[in-house]
Amino acid sequence: MRRLRAYAFAFGAMLGVATGRGRRKRIVPEGPKAPAAELWVVALLLLSAVFAVGFIVVYATGHWPNRTQFEGIALGGSLAFMAAALIVIGKRLVVTEELTEDYPEQEHLREQVEVSQIVRESGSRFTRKRLMQGAAGAAASALGLAFLAPVLSLGPALDTDELRWSPWARGKRLVSEDGNPLKASEIEENTFYTAYPEHSSRNDIAAPVVIVRLSPQALKLPRARRGWAPQGILAYSKICTHAGCAIALYRKPTFPPIEPTPALVCPCHYSTFDPATGGSVLFGPAGRPLPQLPLAIDGAGHLRAAGNFSGPVGPSWWGVRKKPAIRPKGLE
Protein backbone atom coordinates (compact mmCIF):
# COMPACT_ATOMS: atom_id res chain seq x y z
CA MET A 1 0.00 0.00 0.00
CA ARG A 2 2.83 2.34 0.94
CA ARG A 3 4.57 1.34 -2.19
CA LEU A 4 1.54 2.09 -4.29
CA ARG A 5 1.32 5.51 -2.72
CA ALA A 6 4.97 6.11 -3.49
CA TYR A 7 4.41 5.18 -7.14
CA ALA A 8 1.42 7.44 -7.34
CA PHE A 9 3.46 10.25 -5.89
CA ALA A 10 6.31 9.64 -8.33
CA PHE A 11 3.89 9.54 -11.24
CA GLY A 12 2.30 12.77 -10.13
CA ALA A 13 5.69 14.36 -9.77
CA MET A 14 6.62 13.24 -13.28
CA LEU A 15 3.40 14.61 -14.70
CA GLY A 16 4.02 17.79 -12.82
CA VAL A 17 7.48 18.13 -14.31
CA ALA A 18 6.26 17.23 -17.76
CA THR A 19 3.51 19.83 -17.72
CA GLY A 20 5.58 22.50 -16.05
CA ARG A 21 3.40 22.60 -12.96
CA GLY A 22 6.04 21.02 -10.66
CA ARG A 23 7.57 22.75 -7.73
CA ARG A 24 11.08 22.34 -9.16
CA LYS A 25 12.42 24.73 -11.75
CA ARG A 26 13.38 23.05 -15.02
CA ILE A 27 17.11 22.50 -15.66
CA VAL A 28 16.77 21.53 -19.31
CA PRO A 29 14.55 24.04 -21.13
CA GLU A 30 11.40 22.65 -22.66
CA GLY A 31 11.77 23.53 -26.33
CA PRO A 32 9.12 23.16 -29.07
CA LYS A 33 7.73 19.75 -30.03
CA ALA A 34 8.71 18.28 -33.43
CA PRO A 35 6.39 15.37 -34.27
CA ALA A 36 7.60 15.14 -37.87
CA ALA A 37 11.17 14.65 -36.69
CA GLU A 38 9.98 11.92 -34.34
CA LEU A 39 8.44 10.09 -37.28
CA TRP A 40 11.71 10.39 -39.16
CA VAL A 41 13.57 8.90 -36.23
CA VAL A 42 11.13 5.99 -36.02
CA ALA A 43 11.49 5.35 -39.77
CA LEU A 44 15.28 5.47 -39.60
CA LEU A 45 15.43 3.14 -36.61
CA LEU A 46 13.14 0.65 -38.36
CA LEU A 47 15.33 0.81 -41.47
CA SER A 48 18.33 0.17 -39.26
CA ALA A 49 16.60 -2.90 -37.84
CA VAL A 50 15.77 -4.14 -41.36
CA PHE A 51 19.41 -3.88 -42.42
CA ALA A 52 20.62 -5.57 -39.24
CA VAL A 53 18.25 -8.47 -39.91
CA GLY A 54 19.55 -8.43 -43.48
CA PHE A 55 23.06 -8.94 -42.16
CA ILE A 56 21.96 -11.94 -40.12
CA VAL A 57 20.26 -13.39 -43.21
CA VAL A 58 23.33 -12.87 -45.38
CA TYR A 59 25.52 -14.35 -42.67
CA ALA A 60 23.28 -17.37 -42.17
CA THR A 61 22.55 -18.30 -45.77
CA GLY A 62 25.89 -19.84 -46.54
CA HIS A 63 28.22 -19.26 -49.43
CA TRP A 64 27.24 -17.08 -52.31
CA PRO A 65 29.32 -14.77 -54.47
CA ASN A 66 30.08 -11.26 -53.23
CA ARG A 67 28.92 -12.21 -49.75
CA THR A 68 31.47 -9.88 -48.14
CA GLN A 69 30.08 -6.91 -50.09
CA PHE A 70 26.52 -7.66 -48.99
CA GLU A 71 27.66 -8.15 -45.40
CA GLY A 72 29.37 -4.77 -45.51
CA ILE A 73 26.34 -3.03 -47.02
CA ALA A 74 23.97 -4.64 -44.51
CA LEU A 75 26.01 -3.97 -41.38
CA GLY A 76 27.21 -0.57 -42.54
CA GLY A 77 23.67 0.32 -43.60
CA SER A 78 22.20 -0.63 -40.26
CA LEU A 79 24.82 1.47 -38.45
CA ALA A 80 24.38 4.36 -40.89
CA PHE A 81 20.59 4.50 -40.41
CA MET A 82 20.99 4.39 -36.65
CA ALA A 83 23.57 7.16 -36.91
CA ALA A 84 21.11 9.18 -38.99
CA ALA A 85 18.38 8.61 -36.38
CA LEU A 86 20.67 9.89 -33.63
CA ILE A 87 21.66 12.90 -35.66
CA VAL A 88 17.99 13.79 -36.21
CA ILE A 89 17.47 13.41 -32.46
CA GLY A 90 20.50 15.57 -31.79
CA LYS A 91 19.49 18.27 -34.26
CA ARG A 92 15.69 18.36 -33.90
CA LEU A 93 14.51 16.55 -30.79
CA VAL A 94 16.74 17.47 -27.89
CA VAL A 95 17.38 20.93 -26.58
CA THR A 96 20.76 22.16 -27.80
CA GLU A 97 20.95 25.50 -26.03
CA GLU A 98 24.45 26.93 -25.73
CA LEU A 99 25.40 27.68 -22.13
CA THR A 100 28.34 29.50 -20.67
CA GLU A 101 30.35 28.83 -17.58
CA ASP A 102 33.67 29.94 -16.16
CA TYR A 103 36.72 27.89 -17.05
CA PRO A 104 38.02 25.91 -14.06
CA GLU A 105 40.41 27.60 -11.70
CA GLN A 106 43.83 27.76 -13.31
CA GLU A 107 45.90 27.04 -10.23
CA HIS A 108 45.26 25.93 -6.67
CA LEU A 109 47.98 27.92 -4.93
CA ARG A 110 47.07 26.96 -1.39
CA GLU A 111 47.11 23.23 -2.16
CA GLN A 112 50.35 23.57 -4.11
CA VAL A 113 52.04 25.11 -1.08
CA GLU A 114 50.54 22.53 1.28
CA VAL A 115 51.62 19.56 -0.85
CA SER A 116 55.23 20.68 -0.94
CA GLN A 117 55.03 21.47 2.77
CA ILE A 118 53.75 17.97 3.62
CA VAL A 119 56.47 16.30 1.55
CA ARG A 120 59.20 18.48 3.03
CA GLU A 121 58.08 18.22 6.64
CA SER A 122 57.63 14.46 6.47
CA GLY A 123 61.40 14.07 6.05
CA SER A 124 62.32 16.09 9.11
CA ARG A 125 63.45 13.06 11.13
CA PHE A 126 66.03 12.05 8.52
CA THR A 127 69.50 13.44 9.31
CA ARG A 128 71.62 11.64 6.68
CA LYS A 129 69.59 12.49 3.59
CA ARG A 130 72.43 12.29 1.05
CA LEU A 131 73.53 8.89 2.29
CA MET A 132 69.97 7.56 2.32
CA GLN A 133 69.35 8.86 -1.19
CA GLY A 134 72.55 7.22 -2.40
CA ALA A 135 71.68 3.89 -0.84
CA ALA A 136 68.13 4.01 -2.17
CA GLY A 137 69.45 4.87 -5.63
CA ALA A 138 71.90 1.96 -5.50
CA ALA A 139 69.22 -0.50 -4.39
CA ALA A 140 66.67 0.69 -6.94
CA SER A 141 69.06 0.67 -9.88
CA ALA A 142 70.60 -2.69 -8.94
CA LEU A 143 67.16 -4.24 -8.57
CA GLY A 144 66.10 -2.64 -11.84
CA LEU A 145 69.10 -4.17 -13.61
CA ALA A 146 68.35 -7.53 -11.99
CA PHE A 147 64.83 -7.40 -13.40
CA LEU A 148 66.18 -6.39 -16.81
CA ALA A 149 68.87 -9.08 -16.98
CA PRO A 150 66.52 -11.88 -18.16
CA VAL A 151 65.71 -9.73 -21.19
CA LEU A 152 69.02 -10.95 -22.60
CA SER A 153 67.39 -14.37 -23.06
CA LEU A 154 65.44 -12.86 -25.96
CA GLY A 155 68.38 -13.11 -28.31
CA PRO A 156 72.17 -13.34 -28.63
CA ALA A 157 72.51 -9.62 -28.04
CA LEU A 158 76.09 -9.83 -26.78
CA ASP A 159 77.36 -11.86 -29.73
CA THR A 160 76.87 -9.92 -32.95
CA ASP A 161 79.08 -12.40 -34.80
CA GLU A 162 75.85 -14.29 -35.54
CA LEU A 163 75.08 -11.51 -37.98
CA ARG A 164 78.01 -12.72 -40.14
CA TRP A 165 76.81 -16.28 -40.45
CA SER A 166 76.67 -17.68 -43.94
CA PRO A 167 75.96 -21.28 -44.97
CA TRP A 168 78.26 -21.01 -48.00
CA ALA A 169 81.71 -22.61 -48.24
CA ARG A 170 84.13 -23.79 -50.86
CA GLY A 171 82.64 -26.70 -52.79
CA LYS A 172 78.95 -26.12 -51.93
CA ARG A 173 76.79 -26.75 -54.95
CA LEU A 174 74.26 -24.14 -56.03
CA VAL A 175 70.73 -25.53 -56.30
CA SER A 176 67.66 -23.95 -57.83
CA GLU A 177 64.28 -23.31 -56.19
CA ASP A 178 63.23 -26.94 -56.79
CA GLY A 179 66.48 -28.34 -55.35
CA ASN A 180 68.27 -29.37 -58.57
CA PRO A 181 71.96 -28.49 -58.96
CA LEU A 182 72.44 -25.64 -61.42
CA LYS A 183 74.56 -26.23 -64.50
CA ALA A 184 76.72 -23.47 -65.93
CA SER A 185 75.31 -24.25 -69.38
CA GLU A 186 71.75 -23.45 -68.18
CA ILE A 187 72.63 -19.87 -67.22
CA GLU A 188 71.71 -17.40 -69.95
CA GLU A 189 72.38 -13.72 -70.40
CA ASN A 190 69.72 -10.99 -69.86
CA THR A 191 67.94 -12.80 -67.08
CA PHE A 192 68.65 -13.75 -63.51
CA TYR A 193 68.35 -16.85 -61.36
CA THR A 194 67.90 -17.46 -57.66
CA ALA A 195 69.99 -20.22 -56.10
CA TYR A 196 70.52 -21.71 -52.66
CA PRO A 197 73.31 -23.72 -51.01
CA GLU A 198 72.72 -27.46 -51.33
CA HIS A 199 71.60 -29.23 -48.10
CA SER A 200 71.18 -26.02 -46.10
CA SER A 201 68.32 -24.04 -44.63
CA ARG A 202 66.94 -21.57 -47.13
CA ASN A 203 65.16 -19.45 -44.55
CA ASP A 204 68.23 -17.41 -43.77
CA ILE A 205 69.21 -14.12 -45.34
CA ALA A 206 72.67 -15.46 -46.13
CA ALA A 207 71.30 -18.39 -48.16
CA PRO A 208 69.83 -17.00 -51.41
CA VAL A 209 72.06 -15.73 -54.19
CA VAL A 210 71.26 -14.22 -57.58
CA ILE A 211 73.11 -15.54 -60.61
CA VAL A 212 73.60 -13.57 -63.80
CA ARG A 213 75.72 -14.13 -66.86
CA LEU A 214 77.58 -11.28 -68.52
CA SER A 215 79.93 -11.48 -71.45
CA PRO A 216 83.43 -12.02 -69.99
CA GLN A 217 84.70 -8.86 -71.77
CA ALA A 218 82.15 -6.73 -69.89
CA LEU A 219 83.49 -7.77 -66.49
CA LYS A 220 85.41 -5.18 -64.50
CA LEU A 221 85.92 -7.15 -61.30
CA PRO A 222 88.59 -6.08 -58.78
CA ARG A 223 91.92 -7.81 -59.38
CA ALA A 224 91.55 -10.07 -56.31
CA ARG A 225 88.30 -11.46 -57.74
CA ARG A 226 89.62 -12.32 -61.21
CA GLY A 227 88.68 -15.98 -61.02
CA TRP A 228 85.31 -15.54 -59.30
CA ALA A 229 83.18 -15.47 -62.45
CA PRO A 230 83.92 -18.48 -64.67
CA GLN A 231 82.49 -17.95 -68.19
CA GLY A 232 81.16 -14.58 -66.99
CA ILE A 233 78.74 -16.19 -64.51
CA LEU A 234 78.42 -14.13 -61.34
CA ALA A 235 76.73 -14.82 -58.01
CA TYR A 236 75.75 -12.17 -55.47
CA SER A 237 73.86 -12.27 -52.21
CA LYS A 238 70.18 -11.72 -52.99
CA ILE A 239 69.71 -9.57 -49.90
CA CYS A 240 70.08 -5.83 -50.31
CA THR A 241 72.82 -4.27 -48.16
CA HIS A 242 70.56 -1.30 -47.46
CA ALA A 243 67.55 -2.66 -45.58
CA GLY A 244 67.47 -6.41 -46.16
CA CYS A 245 64.86 -6.80 -48.91
CA ALA A 246 65.34 -9.34 -51.67
CA ILE A 247 66.92 -8.02 -54.87
CA ALA A 248 63.98 -8.99 -57.04
CA LEU A 249 64.62 -6.88 -60.14
CA TYR A 250 67.17 -7.29 -62.92
CA ARG A 251 67.60 -4.32 -65.22
CA LYS A 252 68.89 -5.61 -68.49
CA PRO A 253 69.61 -2.62 -70.67
CA THR A 254 66.55 -2.37 -72.89
CA PHE A 255 67.39 1.23 -73.81
CA PRO A 256 71.17 1.71 -73.61
CA PRO A 257 71.27 5.55 -73.73
CA ILE A 258 69.73 5.85 -70.26
CA GLU A 259 70.40 2.36 -68.95
CA PRO A 260 73.97 1.73 -70.03
CA THR A 261 74.69 -1.29 -67.86
CA PRO A 262 72.81 -4.26 -66.51
CA ALA A 263 71.95 -3.80 -62.85
CA LEU A 264 70.50 -5.65 -59.88
CA VAL A 265 67.76 -3.54 -58.28
CA CYS A 266 66.01 -3.83 -54.93
CA PRO A 267 62.29 -2.96 -55.20
CA CYS A 268 62.03 -1.56 -51.66
CA HIS A 269 64.19 1.57 -51.98
CA TYR A 270 65.70 1.09 -55.45
CA SER A 271 69.28 0.49 -54.45
CA THR A 272 70.94 -0.36 -57.76
CA PHE A 273 74.01 -2.58 -57.93
CA ASP A 274 76.43 -3.20 -60.80
CA PRO A 275 77.11 -6.91 -61.29
CA ALA A 276 80.01 -6.23 -63.67
CA THR A 277 82.13 -4.42 -61.07
CA GLY A 278 81.66 -6.70 -58.09
CA GLY A 279 78.29 -5.42 -56.90
CA SER A 280 79.21 -1.73 -56.44
CA VAL A 281 76.34 0.72 -55.83
CA LEU A 282 75.18 2.60 -58.96
CA PHE A 283 72.27 4.49 -57.39
CA GLY A 284 70.03 4.49 -54.36
CA PRO A 285 70.68 4.42 -50.66
CA ALA A 286 72.72 1.23 -50.11
CA GLY A 287 76.03 2.04 -48.44
CA ARG A 288 77.88 -1.20 -49.19
CA PRO A 289 78.40 -3.25 -52.37
CA LEU A 290 76.49 -6.50 -52.69
CA PRO A 291 78.52 -9.37 -51.24
CA GLN A 292 79.84 -11.51 -54.09
CA LEU A 293 80.07 -15.29 -53.94
CA PRO A 294 83.08 -16.73 -55.80
CA LEU A 295 82.01 -19.44 -58.26
CA ALA A 296 83.65 -22.44 -59.83
CA ILE A 297 82.42 -25.01 -62.37
CA ASP A 298 83.06 -28.64 -61.46
CA GLY A 299 83.78 -31.56 -63.75
CA ALA A 300 80.08 -32.28 -64.24
CA GLY A 301 79.43 -28.68 -65.30
CA HIS A 302 77.66 -27.79 -62.05
CA LEU A 303 78.08 -24.44 -60.33
CA ARG A 304 79.83 -24.60 -56.98
CA ALA A 305 80.86 -21.95 -54.47
CA ALA A 306 84.62 -21.37 -54.53
CA GLY A 307 84.60 -19.85 -51.05
CA ASN A 308 82.44 -17.66 -48.84
CA PHE A 309 80.98 -14.22 -49.60
CA SER A 310 83.23 -11.21 -50.08
CA GLY A 311 81.67 -9.71 -46.93
CA PRO A 312 78.80 -10.11 -44.45
CA VAL A 313 75.32 -10.38 -45.96
CA GLY A 314 72.44 -7.98 -45.39
CA PRO A 315 72.06 -4.50 -43.89
CA SER A 316 74.96 -2.72 -42.22
CA TRP A 317 75.60 -2.51 -38.51
CA TRP A 318 78.38 -1.13 -36.32
CA GLY A 319 80.89 -3.91 -36.99
CA VAL A 320 79.88 -5.00 -40.50
CA ARG A 321 83.15 -3.90 -42.11
CA LYS A 322 85.37 -5.29 -39.36
CA LYS A 323 85.36 -9.00 -40.16
CA PRO A 324 84.30 -11.22 -43.08
CA ALA A 325 81.34 -13.59 -43.36
CA ILE A 326 81.83 -16.77 -41.33
CA ARG A 327 80.47 -20.31 -41.28
CA PRO A 328 78.62 -21.00 -38.03
CA LYS A 329 80.16 -23.60 -35.76
CA GLY A 330 78.54 -27.03 -35.83
CA LEU A 331 78.00 -27.04 -39.61
CA GLU A 332 79.95 -29.51 -41.70
For residues 66-95, which are near another protein according to CB under 8 A? 68-73, 75-80, 82-87, 89-91, 93-95
Contact 331, 297 (CB under 8 A): no
Nearest-10 crossing angle of helices 67-88, 35-60: 160
Helix (H, G, I), strand (E, B) or coil at 236: strand
The answer to whether 167 touches 175, Cβ cutoff 8 Å, is no
CA 115/CA 171 separation, integer angstroms: 76
Task: Please identify, using beta-carbon distances, which residue of 266 and 293 lies nearer to another protein.
Answer: 266
The answer to the question of residue 291 lying near another protein (CB under 8 A) is: no
Backbone torsions φ then ψ of 43, nearest 5 degrees: -60, -45
Stretch that binds another protein, among 109-117, 213-221, 225-233, 284-292 (CB under 8 A): 284-292
19 binding another protein? (CB under 8 A): no
How many residues line the site for another protein (CB under 8 A)?
A: 92
CB of 277 to another protein, least distance (A): 14
Nearer to another protein, 123 or 330 (CB): 330
CA–CA distances in Å: residue 305 to residues 136, 279, 309: 60, 17, 9
Name which position in 137, 144, 156, 260 contacts another protein (CB under 8 A).
Answer: 156
Within 247-266, which residues bind another protein (CB under 8 A)? 247-249, 258, 266
**Candidate segments 141-149, 154-162, 185-193, 226-234, binder of another protein by CB under 8 A:** 154-162
Residue closer to another protein by CB (options 98, 332) is 98
Q: Which of residues 168-227 bind another protein (CB under 8 A)?
A: 194, 196, 202-208
CB of 101 vs another protein, minimal distance in Å: 6
DSSP 91: I
Interface map 47-66 toward another protein (x if CB under 8 A): ------------x-------
CA 42 to each of CA 32, 54, 81, 85, 197: distance values in angstroms, whole numbers, following the listed order = 19, 18, 11, 8, 71
- For 239, counting Cβ atoms within 10 Å of its Cβ (0-12 exposed, 13-18 middle, 19+ buried), the class is buried
The residues in 124-153 that bind another protein, with binding defined as CB under 8 A, are: 151-152
Nearest approach, Cβ of residue 289 and another protein (Å): 10
Give dist(CA 187, CA 128) in Å, integer: 80
Please, what is the minimum distance in Å from the beta carbon of residue 166 to another protein?
Answer: 10
- Residue numbers 294-323 binding another protein by CB under 8 A: 314-322
User: Rounded to the nearest whole angstrom, what is the least distance from the CB of residue 206 to another protein in the complex?
Assistant: 8
- Evaluated on CA atoms 63, 64, 65, 71, the torsion sign reads negative
